[in-house]
Amino acid sequence: MAKLDSKIPAGPLADKWRRHKTEIKLVNPANKRKYEIIVVGAGLAGASASATLAELGYKVKNFVFHDSPRRAHSIAAQGGINAAKNYQNDGDSVYRLFYDTLKGGDYRSREANVHRLAEVSVNIIDQCVAQGVPFAREYGGLLANRSFGGAQVSRTFYARGQTGQQLLLGAYSALSRMIAAGGVEMHTNSEMLDLVVVDGHAKGIIVRNLLTGEIERYAADAVILATGGYGNVFNLSTYARGSNVTASWRAYKRGACFANPCYTQIHPTCIPVTGDYQSKLTLMSESLRNDGRIWAPKHQADRLKPPASIPEADRDYYLERMYPSFGNLAPRDIASRAAKRVCDEGRGVGETGLGVYLDFADAIKRLGEPVVRERYGNLFDIYHEITAESAYQQPMRIFPAVHYTMGGLWVDYNLMSNVPGLFVLGEANFSDHGANRLGASALMQGLADGYFVIPYTIGDYLAGQKPGARPSIDAPEFKAAAENIRAMTERFLQIKGKETVSHYHKRLGKILWEHCGMARTRASLEQALKLIPALREEFWANVTVPGSAATLNQSLEQAGRVADFIELGELLCLDALTREESCGGHFREEHQYPDGECQRDDEKFAHVAAWEFQGAGKPPLRNIEPLNYEFTKMSVRNYK
């Protein structure tokens, strides 16, 4: 059984991080260059960590499967990044950001981690501005803010609808600077396929060079995974097509615990699905809910009528009706479920009946079209490209879609997993968002972890490791792991079955969306737990992967990722089945209040479920980390 010590420092909530930083072990500057650190991923968390650790003097090797470290999917975040700057003088504070985030997560995240996140949020904005990130400004030259879901203050910084892109390019520029300075050795087109554990410590990785097919071995004193979330387990999502769980999953199979996989976020405002060929769902930023009003017809009979012909009295602005104090800015999980309920009642719009309206007519009347264009023009353009409809003239049709995963590899307060030497940052870990993430908090967490947490906390581990003591890549553990990956690669190519990799990915996604999506029941999950193992068997018997292992082979890459998604999908459903409560993005129909809101069970489930791999074919072990709230009372989340 894994030992899960959260290592939360003692003391008052607001002093924990400050005190921890002063008490943590340091590595002296002359010794830092003797340590090598592997960072996998160059999104916000990976790029910021690589740059910062290299600035400190560590020797960093960064690995990405992309062709450049500027491509990670952090780049697609549209709306913004939260920070408790209180530049608006509207009563914001570190405590309020902490509290909103904790409550937004339905009291399933760690108090101490969330408070630290709120504390360092202010440093992130300073850092990014100094790097030249062109945040939106007011006429006086100072920074502008907008509002986001789950908050009653305006604390979100943004760069048009491209905030993620600008923050990522800031981190990429810092990383580029350190590559040029020799502090970071960059490996592009390199996919991590295994974690190497030597004497119980993470000491290296196995990588496939995606251009040559070479299986390569790399040793280090510590390994950092910043490899993002696993939402593509649903196949259709707002993730990039390449986003995958493989690095995390292979680490899980080497002993790292996977925490709360059932906490998946369904974003309420995405462009609805149109056909079976579809590869991707596109998000319409939450920022649109600042000015857009969400509604559906009151009567089923109106659902196919042109929206403009439906009189005001026959429209149901259901978020404003159900949650008057937060209205259209209700948190994501709540807004998504409300949309589902409306569509389940047969009031969904569009041909498929799976859609509701996001309407800007009032905003255009109030602000004028030019202002709306300045605020949201690029989002309206994206909507037009995809649907060939103008949101200036008619409401957008939107529907919820998989967008983010709160679960991930278990980490302690230092962001170290239960495998010593293996650290996990950003969306790939589980710690800060509980059962639901608030908008504009993912960018905050990725950069907090990379710029301001790991640079301190990794020293605590490395100080206990003798400089220069990392194993050689000729150690038996490295050879065995590389051999294992080579064999797996060969196996894919030799199956020569009758269906494509994408065929299985689609089927997996359908099983998960139908049985473990916005609403889950015991029966649906038990059904999924029968369907997924059968799908896995069929995949390994009947998939076909053309081409060779010695060149760029995208089918082969995808085969490995889908194989891992199938296994993860099973764990996700098992976690959802075991968690007999509703919280945040995890909604079990058996556990709801009469008004349809989530019914948590704090007595039985105020804990993190951290699953531990026990070997192929054996059921995984469910470890528990109790969530001890020292300062906040877990209460019923109310946005009414």
Angstrom CA distances, 164 to 141, 156, 170, 621, stand at: 22, 12, 10, 37
Alpha carbon distance 280, 236 (integer Å): 5
CB 401 within 8 A of CB 356: no
* Residue list 33-72, contact with another protein (CB under 8 A): 48, 51-52, 55, 66-72
568-600 burial, b for 16+ CB within 10 Å, e for fewer?
Answer: bbbbbbbbbbebebbbbbbbbeebeeeeebbbb
Q: What is the SS3 assignment for 240? A: coil
* Residue list 282-301, contact with another protein (CB under 8 A): 282-283
Q: What's the DSSP call for residue 313?
A: G
Q: By CB under 8 A, is residue 90 in contact with another protein?
A: no
Please give the backbone phi and psi of residue 37, each rounded to the nearest 5 degrees, phi first: -125, 130
Alpha carbon distance 195, 561 (integer Å): 15
Stretch that binds another protein, among 501-509, 521-529, 581-589, 613-621 (CB under 8 A): 501-509
Candidates 7, 14, 24, 87: give the one binding another protein (CB under 8 A): 87
332, 397, 437, 507: the catalytic one is 332
Q: With respect to another protein, which residue has the nearer C-beta, 464 or 546?
A: 546
Q: By CB under 8 A, is residue 278 in contact with another protein?
A: yes
Alpha carbon distance 351, 357 (integer Å): 13
Candidates 469, 546, 624, 640: give the one binding another protein (CB under 8 A): 546
Assess whether 622 carries a catalytic annotation.
no
Candidates 160, 397, 403, 520: give the one binding another protein (CB under 8 A): 160
Q: With respect to another protein, which residue has the nearer C-beta, 8 or 122?
A: 122
Closest approach, Cβ 57 to another protein, in A, equals: 12
Site string (414-433) toward another protein, x via CB under 8 A? --------------------
Q: By CB under 8 A, is residue 1 in contact with another protein?
A: no
Closest approach, Cβ 375 to another protein, in A, equals: 13
Stretch that binds another protein, among 146-154, 200-208, 497-505, 609-617 (CB under 8 A): 497-505
Q: By CB under 8 A, is residue 76 in contact with another protein?
A: yes
Stretch that binds another protein, among 302-310, 318-326, 344-352, 485-493 (CB under 8 A): 344-352
Tokens of 175: 């990383």
Closest approach, Cβ 74 to another protein, in A, equals: 10
Torsion, Cα 599 289 442 375, to 10 degrees, reads -170
Closest approach, Cβ 426 to another protein, in A, equals: 16
* Residue list 257-276, contact with another protein (CB under 8 A): 272-276
Q: What's the DSSP call for residue 272?
A: P
Q: By CB under 8 A, is residue 159 in contact with another protein?
A: yes
Q: By CB under 8 A, is residue 240 in contact with another protein?
A: yes
Q: Identify residue 563 by its one-letter amino acid code.
A: A
Stretch that binds another protein, among 31-39, 159-167, 336-344, 476-484 (CB under 8 A): 159-167
Q: With respect to another protein, which residue has the nearer C-beta, 275 or 617?
A: 275
* Residue list 122-151, contact with another protein (CB under 8 A): 123, 125-132, 134-143
Torsion, Cα 341 346 349 351, to 10 degrees, reads 130
Q: With respect to another protein, which residue has the nearer C-beta, 251 or 271?
A: 271
Q: With respect to another protein, which residue has the nearer C-beta, 93 or 173?
A: 173
Q: With respect to another protein, which residue has the nearer C-beta, 284 or 608?
A: 284
Q: With respect to another protein, which residue has the nearer C-beta, 293 or 561?
A: 561
* Residue list 169-228, contact with another protein (CB under 8 A): 169, 172-174, 176-177, 179-180, 186, 188, 211
Q: By CB under 8 A, is residue 519 in contact with another protein?
A: no
Candidates 88, 544, 592, 599: give the one binding another protein (CB under 8 A): 544
Residue 484's closest CA among 91, 197, 210? 197
Alpha carbon distance 43, 62 (integer Å): 11
Residue 483's closest CA among 245, 201, 194? 194
Q: By CB under 8 A, is residue 324 in contact with another protein?
A: no
Closest approach, Cβ 280 to another protein, in A, equals: 4
CB 601 within 8 A of CB 125: no
Q: By CB under 8 A, is residue 306 in contact with another protein?
A: no
Please give the backbone phi and psi of residue 623, each rounded to the nearest 5 degrees, phi first: -90, 155
Alpha carbon distance 407, 277 (integer Å): 29
165-195 burial, b for 16+ CB within 10 Å, e for fewer?
Answer: bbbbbbbbebbbebbeeebbbbbbbbbbbbb
CB 528 within 8 A of CB 516: yes
Closest approach, Cβ 187 to another protein, in A, equals: 12
Q: By CB under 8 A, is residue 555 in contact with another protein?
A: yes
- If phi > 0 it is left, if psi is from -120 to 50 it is alpha, else beta; for residue 91 that is left
Stretch that binds another protein, among 25-33, 94-102, 214-222, 279-287 (CB under 8 A): 279-287
Q: What's the DSSP call for residue 598?
A: B
Residue 567's closest CA among 543, 542, 539, 536? 536
CB 620 within 8 A of CB 614: yes
Q: With respect to another protein, which residue has the nearer C-beta, 184 or 334?
A: 184
| Segments in 181-286 forming alpha helices (H) | 246-253
Closest approach, Cβ 27 to another protein, in A, equals: 16
How many residues are recorded in the chain?
A: 640
How many amino acids of this chain bind another protein (CB under 8 A)? 91
Candidates 21, 254, 299, 503: give the one binding another protein (CB under 8 A): 503
Stretch that binds another protein, among 17-25, 285-293, 493-501, 617-625 (CB under 8 A): 493-501
Alpha carbon distance 401, 267 (integer Å): 5
Site string (363-382) toward another protein, x via CB under 8 A? ------------------xx
Q: With respect to another protein, which residue has the nearer C-beta, 286 or 612?
A: 286
Alpha carbon distance 381, 384 (integer Å): 5
Q: By CB under 8 A, is residue 73 in contact with another protein?
A: yes
Q: By CB under 8 A, is residue 476 in contact with another protein?
A: no
CB atoms within 10 A of CB 634: 15
Q: What is the SS3 assignment for 302? A: helix
Q: With respect to another protein, which residue has the nearer C-beta, 491 or 640?
A: 491
Alpha carbon distance 520, 505 (integer Å): 21
- Residues involved in catalysis: 332
